[in-house]
Structure 1
Amino acid sequence: MTIGLAFLVLFSVGFPVVVAMMLPSIYYILANGFPLDSAAQRLIFSVDSFTLVAIPVFILAGNLMNTAGITSRIFNFANIVVGRVPGGLAQVNIFASLIFAGMSGAALADVGGLGRVEIKALRERGFSAGFAAAVTAASATVGPIFPPSIILIIYGAVTNTSIVSLLLAGVLPAILCVIMLMLTTAILARLRRFPREPRWPTPSEVTRGGAAALPALLAPVFLVGGMLTGWFTPTEAAAVVVLYILLVSALVYRDLSPSHLLTSAVDTVKATGAILVIVAGAQLLGWVFALEQVPQQFASAVLPDTDNTIVLLLVLNLILLVAGMFLDAGVVVLLIMPIVAPPLIAAGVDPVHLGIVSVFNVVLGLVTPPMGLSLFLISDIARVPMSRLVRELLPFYVPLFLTLMLITFIPAISLWLPNLN
C-alpha cells in the first residue's frame, strides 16, 4: 500500500501521472534488489501487444476524419436532420458525439478538440456560454463507450477480455445515453425557449445532406458490422477503417492532400506516444502492486464479503466515480481494474458487462465535481466559471446517472449484441 500512497502523493503535488507512477515503481525495484533492467523489460513487455496495435490506427482514423473534413460533413448533416428538434444545435452536439467523439479514444481529447468547435457553434446560434459548455461536457461521455473506443481496448488488454465483445457491447448503452440526453435537452429547450432551426428541412435538403455525409456515416456501420459478422478482428478493423477513410477522402470527397496526411500522422504519433507511455507506466506500477499483493489487500479491505453481484457493482461504481474525479479514465482503468476485476468476475459478474459499467462510470467522474478533470478543461475553453458550469450541468446528471444505473442493473443492455456474435 506504501507504493500506492506514494503515487497519490506525487500526483497530488503536481507530478505528471507517468512520473508519479514510475518513480515509486523504480524505487521499489531498487530497494528490493531487483536488477534495474527488469523495469525496462516490464515497460517493453507491457506495450508489446497485438491488441494495442489498434490504438494508433484508430487514432489515425479519427485524425483523418477531422483533417479531411469528414467530421464537418457529419456535423452539417446532423444539423439538417435534428436542427429543428427542440434544442436545435444542442441536439446536433449530442448526436455528433455519438458518431465521432470516441475516435480520439480519450474523453479529455474529445472535449479539447471537438468541444471547441461545438461550443463556438452553439454560442453563435444564441445559446449561453454556460449551457454550451454543459451540453458539450455531457455529450462527451458518450464517445468512449461507442466503437471504436480505445479505452475499451485498454480494458480488454488488462483484463484479458474479448475486444470484439467489448466494442459491440458499447453500442446500445451509448445509444441509450444519447436518447436520455436528447430528451433532457428537449425538455430544457421547451422550458427555456432555446433557439432552433426556423423550419424543418425539405426532402431534397435531407437527400443532399445525406448523400454528402453517407460515405462518412458508413464508416462506423462498416466497423461494427464487420466485427459482428467476424470478418475482421478489432486490430484488423482499425486498418480497414483507415483504408476506407483514405479511399472516401481521395475518391469521393477529393479533398485529401499530402498536408492532411502529414498533419494526421504527426498528431497520431503524439497522441499514441502519450497513451502508450501511460499504459507502460501503469503496467509497471501494476506489476509492483501484484508483487506486494495489493489487489488481494484492496479487495479484502474495500469490497464487501458477498457474492451478490449487484452489491459488488454498486461498491465498484462508487470507487470508480471517486477515482474518475481525479484521474483520466484510461489511467483509472489501467490502475484499478486489474485489482478489482478478478474478485468481481469470480463472484459471477460478466467481464464484458463489467467493462461497460466501469468505463462509463470513470468517464462520468470526469464531469463530476469537485475535481472532475473535464470540468476544468471545459471551463477554460468556454471561459465559464466553474460554479456556473456545474449549475448548468445539474439537469444532465439525471440522464447520465440513470443510464449508469440501467446498464448496471440490466446486463442485457450491454450483452445483447455480443451474444449475437
Structure 2
Amino acid sequence: MIAIVVVLLLALLAVGMHVGVAMGLSAIVILWLEGLPLQAVAQNAFRSVNSYALVAVPFFILAGELMMRGRIAEVLVDLIGAVVRVIRGGLALTVMLGCIFFAAVSGSSVASAAAIGRSSVSILASDGYPKHFSAALVAVGGTLGLMIPPSLSFILIGSMVGLPIDRLFVAGILPGVLEAILLAITSTAIARRRGYGTQLERPDWLAFRRSIGPALPAVLFPILIVGTIYAGIFTPTEVAAVAALYAALLCLVVYRTTTLAGVWQSCKSAARSSAMIYLVVVGGALLAYVLTRIGFADQLITAAKAVNMQPWMFLIAVNLFLLLLGMFVDGISLIVLTAPTLFQMAPQFGVDPIHMAVILTANVEIATLTPPIGLNLFVMSGIARIPVEQVARGVMPFYGIRLVALLLLTFVPWFSLALLR
C-alpha cells in the first residue's frame, strides 16, 4: 500500500496536477482499496482546516501583499544605507538588513522577497551590482521570513501537529538571528571580494536624520507584531489581523502608495494564495490519515530500531530526505507531506518536537532556493527580468552557508530551545 501511495502520488504530480489534489486523490484511492469508510474524507478535510491558528495565514499573506505596494523598502534602504554604506559592500548589507526587517513582519519567504525585491534590484543596479547577484541576494534574504517570527511555517506546523505556536515563534528567534548574521557576513564578503558597489567616505548623518521621520512608521511594524505577541496582548492569529490593518494604513494613509482599489486587488491575491495553501493542507491531512491507518510511521520506527539507528543518524537521514524532497515540491507541501510522520518518529529518537520544527523550517528555507521548484528563484527571476538559471548561479555561494546553518541548527539544539527554558 505504501508503494501504491508513492507511485500514484508521483504519477499525479508528474502530469502537472496540483499537489493538494494529488495527495487527496492518492488518499482516496488507498481508502477505497483498504475498504475504509469514505466518510473519513469529509471528516478529515474539515478537521484539517477547522483551526483557529490557520486563520492567521490569509492575514499575514494580505500584510505581505500590501507591503509590496508600499514604499517601505525604499525608506528602510535610505535609513540604513546612510550609515551602513561606509563599508565596501554596504549596500548589499543594507538590502540584507531590509530582508531581515520584512521577515519580521510578513511571515512568508516569497512575500519578503517580492516586497523588498521590487525596489532593491534597481537600487543595487544603480550602484554597480550585477543583476544576478542582486536577485540572488534578495532571494536568499527572503527565506528568513520562514524562520524569524511571525512565521507561516511555524503556524502550519503547530496547527498540524498540535505544538503551541507562540513557543514555536520563540524557538525561531535565535535560529533566525544565527542565519541572519551568517547571510549578512556572506553578502558583504562577496561584494567586497568582487568589488561590487561604492562606499561613502563617512556616514551621511543628515540623510539619516531626514529618513527617520518617513521610516518610523515602518520601523514600528515588527515591534507591533512581535512585541504584542510576547507581551501577551494578542494571539498570533489576532496579531495577523492587526498586521494586515497596519499595512493597509501605511499604504493608504502614511505613504499613500496605493488606493482602495489596490487594497482590494491585494485582498483577492491573498485569498487565492490562502486557498491554495488550504487545499494543500486538506490533501496532506487526508494522506497523513491514510498513512497512519496503514502504519507507515510505525513501520519506519521498527525498521530504524532494527538497524540500531542512533539519534544523529536519524537527524542526518531526515535532513537528506528533506533536501531531496525539497527539489520537487514547494515548502508548504514539504511540511504537509512530512510533518505527521516526522513528529511521530522524533520522540522515539530523543529529538524535541520544537527542535524538529526548527529543523523542518530550515529545510523549507533551503527548498525555496533549490531548483527546479525553488519559488524564490522564480520570484526574483521575474522581478529582475533575468533567466532563473542566472539567479540560481548567484545563489550558489549562499547555498553553502545555508547548509552550514542547517547543520548547526540540527546538531546544536541550544539554538532552538535556549529561550524556552
**Matched-pair contact (CA < 8 Å) for 1:177–1:400:** yes
Aligned to 1:42: 44
**Matched-pair contact (CA < 8 Å) for 1:98–1:143:** yes
Amino acid at match of 2:60: F
**Matched-pair contact (CA < 8 Å) for 2:79–2:207:** no
> Aligned-pair distance for 1:303?
8.0
Aligned to 2:361: 359
Alpha-carbon distance change, 245 to 369 in structure 1, aligned in 2, over 3 angstroms: closer
- Pick aligned residue for 1:330 from 322, 332, 339: 332
Asked whether 1:149 is paired with 2:135, we answer no
Q: Helix, strand or coil for the counterpart of 1:86?
A: coil
Alpha-carbon distance change, 120 to 203 in structure 1, aligned in 2, over 3 angstroms: closer
Whole-angstrom CA distance in 1 between matches of 2:328 and 2:413:
27
Alpha-carbon distance change, 254 to 145 in structure 1, aligned in 2, over 3 angstroms: same
- Pick aligned residue for 2:91 from 79, 89, 92: 89
Alpha-carbon distance change, 139 to 253 in structure 1, aligned in 2, over 3 angstroms: closer
Alpha-carbon distance change, 190 to 28 in structure 1, aligned in 2, over 3 angstroms: same
Aligned to 1:163: 165
> Aligned-pair distance for 1:364?
0.8
Amino acid at match of 1:327: V
Amino acid at match of 2:328: F
> Larger deviation: 389-398 or 152-161?
389-398
Alpha-carbon distance change, 31 to 408 in structure 1, aligned in 2, over 3 angstroms: closer
Give the aligned CA root-mean-square deviation in angstroms: 2.8
Whole-angstrom CA distance in 2 between matches of 1:302 and 1:346:
10
Q: Helix, strand or coil for the counterpart of 2:322?
A: helix
Q: Helix, strand or coil for the counterpart of 1:140?
A: helix
Q: Helix, strand or coil for the counterpart of 1:325?
A: coil
Alpha-carbon distance change, 367 to 299 in structure 1, aligned in 2, over 3 angstroms: farther
**Matched-pair contact (CA < 8 Å) for 1:47–1:280:** yes
Aligned to 2:174: 172
- C-alpha distance after superposition, 1:122-165 (max 9, x if no partner): 33332222222322232222111112211110011112111001
**Matched-pair contact (CA < 8 Å) for 2:53–2:237:** yes
Whole-angstrom CA distance in 2 between matches of 1:113 and 1:198:
26
Whole-angstrom CA distance in 2 between matches of 1:225 and 1:132:
31
Whole-angstrom CA distance in 1 between matches of 2:382 and 2:245:
36
Aligned to 2:81: 79
Aligned to 1:284: 286
Pairwise mapping of residues 46-85 of structure 1 onto structure 2 (< 5 A)? 46-85=48-87
**Matched-pair contact (CA < 8 Å) for 1:79–1:89:** yes
**Matched-pair contact (CA < 8 Å) for 2:49–2:281:** yes
> Larger deviation: 184-193 or 376-385?
376-385
Alpha-carbon distance change, 105 to 11 in structure 1, aligned in 2, over 3 angstroms: farther
Amino acid at match of 1:29: L
Alpha-carbon distance change, 234 to 274 in structure 1, aligned in 2, over 3 angstroms: same
- Pick aligned residue for 1:414 from 383, 399, 416: 416
Whole-angstrom CA distance in 2 between matches of 1:349 and 1:289:
22
> Aligned-pair distance for 1:111?
4.2
Whole-angstrom CA distance in 1 between matches of 2:276 and 2:373:
22
Percent same amino acid among aligned pairs?
35
- Pick aligned residue for 1:192 from 194, 205, 209: 194
> Aligned-pair distance for 1:91?
1.8
Amino acid at match of 2:120: E
> Aligned-pair distance for 1:85?
3.3
**Matched-pair contact (CA < 8 Å) for 1:55–1:272:** yes
**Matched-pair contact (CA < 8 Å) for 1:110–1:140:** yes
Aligned to 1:183: 185
**Matched-pair contact (CA < 8 Å) for 1:25–1:285:** yes
Amino acid at match of 1:189: A
Aligned to 2:225: 223
**Matched-pair contact (CA < 8 Å) for 2:78–2:208:** no
Q: Helix, strand or coil for the counterpart of 1:141?
A: helix
- C-alpha distance after superposition, 1:238-277 (max 9, x if no partner): 2333344455556655667422432332222122111111
Amino acid at match of 1:329: G
Q: What is the count of residue pairs matched by the alignment?
A: 419
**Matched-pair contact (CA < 8 Å) for 2:89–2:196:** yes
**Matched-pair contact (CA < 8 Å) for 1:147–1:220:** no
Q: Which stretches in structure 2 are left out of the alignment for 5+ residues?
A: none
Pairwise mapping of residues 248-267 of structure 1 onto structure 2 (< 5 A)? 252-253=254-255, 257-267=259-269
Amino acid at match of 1:323: L
- C-alpha distance after superposition, 1:62-98 (max 9, x if no partner): 2233334334433433333434432233222211211
Aligned to 1:316: 318
Whole-angstrom CA distance in 2 between matches of 1:383 and 1:253:
27
Asked whether 1:238 is paired with 2:240, we answer yes
Alpha-carbon distance change, 157 to 140 in structure 1, aligned in 2, over 3 angstroms: same
Amino acid at match of 2:29: Y
Whole-angstrom CA distance in 1 between matches of 2:119 and 2:39:
46
**Matched-pair contact (CA < 8 Å) for 1:67–1:263:** no
Alpha-carbon distance change, 295 to 103 in structure 1, aligned in 2, over 3 angstroms: farther
Q: Helix, strand or coil for the counterpart of 2:157?
A: helix
> Aligned-pair distance for 1:166?
1.0
Whole-angstrom CA distance in 1 between matches of 2:20 and 2:378:
20
Amino acid at match of 2:8: A
